């Protein structure tokens, strides 16, 4: 599990470790139980893979849209370059790769996006993830899974829930998504990871970012004021697609509705399975 110290990777590592032998990697920040790995170090990656794995889940990289916009070269190196390095490292071992990608490969002008939709990223993060997908597509047998905005708790980097840590948090009323409940993701990937090619996973409910944040705030009885905002900030802030709703033409898995997910979140956010 590359990126097990991150927000999505940490939740996956936690969920999958209950049923599989999982080795998780971290960056520089110490996390007990995880192996330090620099994604740019091809030798270290090859040495780690020599110990033998059936699958490598790539959930690492520079995922914050604003950070990617400010550091495009680093974003390209971590998000796309690391996939090429990983692809070369697994070739002698036959290990398969599952790459987590993003709905930000799309421009947000369509009602929904299935796997065959034309990519047209409008920000640096989306462009680097397009390059990552292309790097993996050069060889058969691997799997790309695009996911949307995710929400819920994670053991090592609770990035989403941290937005409720202050008295006020802004949320866009003009950005629409089909968010995915994070503790559900591990079980969904287990259902899909024997496949290859490209798949989408999305949430079952379509909401604005503002509505999502208000419902989370209310479900957890938090004091944070959710402040409605519209429009992108001026450059160098990233452009954000106006509507990103992922749907699949190849399976019928959808994340839980918000009421179900938020009830679980209020109880502590246990791992859920589709």
Residue 192 lies in a domain: yes
Tell me, what's the pLDDT at 252? 96
Residue range 127-140: mean pLDDT, rounded: 96
Active site residue: 7, 113, 125, 181, which one? 125
Residue 156 lies in a domain: yes
Which residue range(s) make up the domain with 40?
7-266
Residue range 90-111: mean pLDDT, rounded: 96
pLDDT for residue 270 is more than 80? no
Q: How many helices and strands, by DSSP H and E, does the chain display?
A: 9, 13
Tell me, what's the pLDDT at 50? 86
Residue 143 lies in a domain: yes
Residue 271 lies in a domain: no
Residue 73 lies in a domain: yes
Query: Residue 166: which residues within 8 A CB-CB, separation 6 or more?
Result: 224
Residue 2 lies in a domain: no
Rounded to an integer, what distance in angstroms lies between the CA atom of residue 58 and that of residue 4?
9
Question: Is 7 labeled as catalytic in the residue annotation?
Answer: no
Residue 255 lies in a domain: yes
pLDDT for residue 83 is more than 70? yes
Give the model confidence (pLDDT) of 230-267 as tens digits: 988 878 789 999 999 999 999 999 999 999 999 999 99
> Looking at the 3D structure of the chain, how many domains does it have?
1
Give the model confidence (pLDDT) of 148-185 as tens digits: 999 999 998 877 888 998 999 999 999 999 999 999 99
**CATH number of the domain within which 197 lies:** 3.40.50.720
Residue 185 lies in a domain: yes
**Mean pLDDT computed over every residue of the chain:** 94
Q: Are 151 and 212 in contact (CB under 8 A)?
A: yes
């Amino acid at each position: 599990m590359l990126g097990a110290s991150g927000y999505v990777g940490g939740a996956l590592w936690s969920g999958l470790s209950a049923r599989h032998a999982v080795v998780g990697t971290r960056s520089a920040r110490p996390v007990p139980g995880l192996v330090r790995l620099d994604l740019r170090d091809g030798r270290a990656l090859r040495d780690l893979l020599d110990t033998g794995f059936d699958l490598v889940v790539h959930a690492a990289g520079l995922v914050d849209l604003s950070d990617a916009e400010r550091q495009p070269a680093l974003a390209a190196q971590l998000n796309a370059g690391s996939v090429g390095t990983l692809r070369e490292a697994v070739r002698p071992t036959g290990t398969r790769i599952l790459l987590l990608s993003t709905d930000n490969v799309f421009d947000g002008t369509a009602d929904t996006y299935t796997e065959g939709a034309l990519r047209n990223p409008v920000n640096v993060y989306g462009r680097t993830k397009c390059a990552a997908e292309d790097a993996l597509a050069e060889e058969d047998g691997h799997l790309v899974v695009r996911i949307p905005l995710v929400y819920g708790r994670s053991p090592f980097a609770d990035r989403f829930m941290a937005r409720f840590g202050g008295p006020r948090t802004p949320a866009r009323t003009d950005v629409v998504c089909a968010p995915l409940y994070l503790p559900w993701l591990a079980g969904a990937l287990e259902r899909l990871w024997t496949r290859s090619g490209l798949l989408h996973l999305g949430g079952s409910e379509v909401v604005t970012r503002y509505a999502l944040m208000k419902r989370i705030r209310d479900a957890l009885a938090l004091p944070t004021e959710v402040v409605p905002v519209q429009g992108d900030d001026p450059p160098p802030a990233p452009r954000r697609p106006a509507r990103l709703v992922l749907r699949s033409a190849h399976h019928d898995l959808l994340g839980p509705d918000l009421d179900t997910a938020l009830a679980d979140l209020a109880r502590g956010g246990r791992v859920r399975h589709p």
